[in-house]
Amino acid sequence: MRFKKAILIFCVFFVLGGLNSCHVVRYFTLNTADVKDFKRFPADTVYPGNHNFEFKHAVPEINIVPRANITFRDNDFEDFLREKKTLAFLVIRNDTILYEKYFDGFNRKSILPSFSVTKSIVSALVGIGIAEGWIAGVDDKVSDYLPELAKNGFDRVSIRNLLNMRSGINYSEGYYNPFGKMAKFYYGKNLAKYVRKLKVKSQAGKNYKYQSANTQILGMILERSSGKKLPEILETYIWKKAGMKYEATWNMDSRKHKNTKAYCCLNARSRDFARFARLYLADGRFEGTAVIPEEWIRKTLQNTTDSRDSQNYPYHFGWRVIDGNILFAKGILGQYIYIDRSKKLIILRFGKKNKKVEWVELFSQIGSEIK
């Protein structure tokens, strides 16, 4: 408490010195991101439609004992998941749930924060925005939609650059620096103001650098071009069209400014995330109706850059894409949506921590053993 009080005094000093807010005290009060954060920030609600899609359920469930390079306690996969701070783990093939387990008091009706998995969902919304005519194409410049950013160099940055994390902006993703830009984006209360202060420092398109600000700008482009808020776009074009069953929430920076946190912070139930994933198995269609444009999914799978994330996975259009058939979305605490199109397979893992597990290797191994 003494430490937090000292930080509060420090923050007040800065406010009196001219700043109109202080994200630093919230950083130390709330600590680093965790699975309860969706309750701590204001949010908009995303409503489902009347037609809910239901997965079939295999009886009995499969017994998962993958042979990947992982040490199991008593050779029990369920014990392994529990030990590694997993909250939800689902294996779905051909619309049939083969395995579904929850831990630490969670169940299939529990809300799960997705953190950066949201970036992949924003990518889908960009594809929809192009199909709807709000956005002309991925080679449009940011300043075509946000002209106030032209003076900061965004007249040289394309939507494609943002999708591929190759914008060249001056922004550090450091999660554990309370004074950094990432902390301000996450704990601050005026995202639009912070974005207006961003500057392009190097040639756009040249180098990959993972930066949440890229997706935040994509969200602002979607909102400016459509005249709708991101939660409304998601609700109208995906949540009500793809058979989602439950309400979702999408956190914002503050009730005053109501800027949606586009780079993170969509919260939903596990099976609704799976319902989103199955669109990528069905070329973007739900029961014959186009939801995500098929051409957008095709382009997402065709990685044309040398972008590689911190684990050396190819990064393209907001997804990690492997060999044109497998793609996955990833969040900071070990949130994963893994999609193998050739096997019609979806694997979801949501957790409290990543726990230094090579989760994608594990997903691949599970997929190879399912007949």
The residue type at 134 = W
pLDDT at 30 over 90: no
Q: Quick check: is 179 in a domain?
A: no
Distances (CA, A) of 255 to 41, 93, 184, 187, 190: 9, 41, 16, 13, 10
Q: Quick check: is 83 in a domain?
A: yes
pLDDT at 197 over 80: yes
Q: Are residues 1 and 123 in the same domain?
A: no
Q: Are residues 235 and 119 in the same domain?
A: yes
Amino acid 3: pLDDT: 43
Looking at residue 85, what DSSP letter applies? T
Looking at residue 111, what DSSP letter applies? -
Segment 255-271 shows an average pLDDT of 97
Q: Quick check: is 150 in a domain?
A: no
Tens of pLDDT along 49-58? 999 999 999 8
Q: What is the mean pLDDT of the chain?
A: 90
Q: Are residues 1 and 39 in the same domain?
A: no
Q: Say if CB 274 and CB 93 are below 8 A apart.
A: no
How many domains does the structure of the chain reveal?
A: 2
The residue type at 30 = L
Q: Are residues 55 and 126 in the same domain?
A: yes
Tens of pLDDT along 1-24? 444 444 443 444 444 444 444 554
Q: Are residues 235 and 351 in the same domain?
A: yes
pLDDT at 165 over 50: yes
Q: Are residues 241 and 258 in the same domain?
A: yes
- CATH code for the domain of 365: 3.40.710.10
Indicate the pTM of the whole model. Answer: 0.90
| CB neighbour list of residue 254: distance below 8 Å, 6 or more residues apart | 42, 189, 190
Distances (CA, A) of 164 to 5, 132, 145, 355: 41, 22, 18, 27
SS3 of the chain: helix, strand, coil, percent, to 5: 35, 20, 45
Token pair recorded at residue 343: 């096997």
Q: Quick check: is 339 in a domain?
A: yes
Q: Quick check: is 190 in a domain?
A: no
The DSSP result for 277-337, as a single string, is HHHTTTTTEETTEESS-HHHHHHHHS--S--B-TTS-BEETTEEEETTTEEEEEETTTEEE
Q: Quick check: is 143 in a domain?
A: no
Burial label for 326, CB within 10 Å (0-12, 13-18, 19+), is: buried
Q: Are residues 237 and 363 in the same domain?
A: yes
Q: Are residues 12 and 114 in the same domain?
A: no
Looking at residue 200, what DSSP letter applies? B
Q: Are residues 241 and 307 in the same domain?
A: yes
Tens of pLDDT along 119-160? 999 999 999 999 999 999 999 999 999 999 999 999 999 999
Q: Are residues 250 and 312 in the same domain?
A: yes
33: pLDDT confidence band, cut at 50, 70 and 90? confident
pLDDT at 174 over 90: no
Token pair recorded at residue 117: 């998995």
Q: Quick check: is 165 in a domain?
A: no
Rg of the chain over Cα atoms, rounded to whole angstroms, equals 20
273: pLDDT confidence band, cut at 50, 70 and 90? very high
Q: Quick check: is 51 in a domain?
A: yes
Q: Are residues 88 and 11 in the same domain?
A: no
C-alpha–C-alpha distance, residues 63 and 65, integer Å:
6
| Domain span holding position 17 | 1-31
pLDDT at 233 over 70: yes
Q: Say if CB 14 and CB 201 are below 8 A apart.
A: no
Q: Are residues 56 and 127 in the same domain?
A: yes
